[in-house]
Amino acid sequence: MTTKLAVFASGSGSNFQALQEAIERGELHATIELVITDKPGAFVVTRANNFGIPVVELAPKAFENKVAYEQKVIELLEAHDVDWVILAGYMRLVGETLLTAYENRIINIHPSLLPSFPGKDAIGQAMDHGVKVTGVTVHYVDAGMDTGKIIAQGAVDVVPGDREQTEARVHKLEHALYTNTLQQLFKQTFA
Ligand code: GRF
């Protein structure tokens, strides 16, 4: 049985692309059925189109409230028979409506060693604090900001004073760690 995923992203979508490429290499036994972005026009839309994966651009502002927005999201997930929701640079807190519908089936990746540096610009926060080692965390999503149960972590040496290189290291690790962690998780769940 193949695990069916929806990827949620708000920006570039490099993690989405890394997952899709891992699927195509046979390293992740899943299919990305749908990409949802809350930022119409985000670069992830171009990436999804390049792979021929359905993408829905859904501006939350177009809905009466968060519940209505998430109900629409659930409708799309159900129409595509989605098993797991994979957040990859989705810059929005998930509300109770979606959390309840996909309980323990929503995963996020965050570019720090949580619980250090949750929220926006985690790499910048880490560098401002002068930490020598930062990293990547894959975790279950709950109602808080990057507070859900931790599934996997990996460490990255900060390149002092060089944000670009540090970021490149973090993203490289993200792409590998997300693939490996999800593959393990799906194997366990359906074993
Ligand atoms: C990644 O660093 C991810 O950990 C964070 O947002 C960034 C998204 O990058 N949540 P991309 O859109 O996947 O390139």
The 10s digit of each residue's pLDDT in 83-141 is 999 999 999 999 999 999 999 999 999 999 999 999 999 999 999 999 999 999 999 99
- What would the DSSP string read from start to end of 25-46? TTSS-EEEEEEEESSTT-HHHH
pTM above 0.75, yes or no: yes
Rg (C-alpha) for the chain, rounded Å, is 16
Ligand 1 site-directed mutation target among 174, 177, 178, most atoms within 8 Å of CB: 174
How many helices and strands, by DSSP H and E, does the chain display?
Answer: 6, 7
Tell me which of 29, 80, 110, 139 is the catalytic residue: 110
Question: Is 110 among the residues known to form the active site?
Answer: yes
Measured in Å, residue 185 CA sits from the centre of ligand 1 at 20
Determine the atom of ligand 1 nearest the C-alpha atom of 90. Answer: 10
Q: For residues 162 and 43, give the distance between their C-alpha atoms in angstroms, rounded to a whole number.
A: 25
Map out the domains of the chain with their CATH numbers: 3-189 (3.40.50.170)
pLDDT over threshold 60, residue 191? no
pLDDT of residue 189: 73
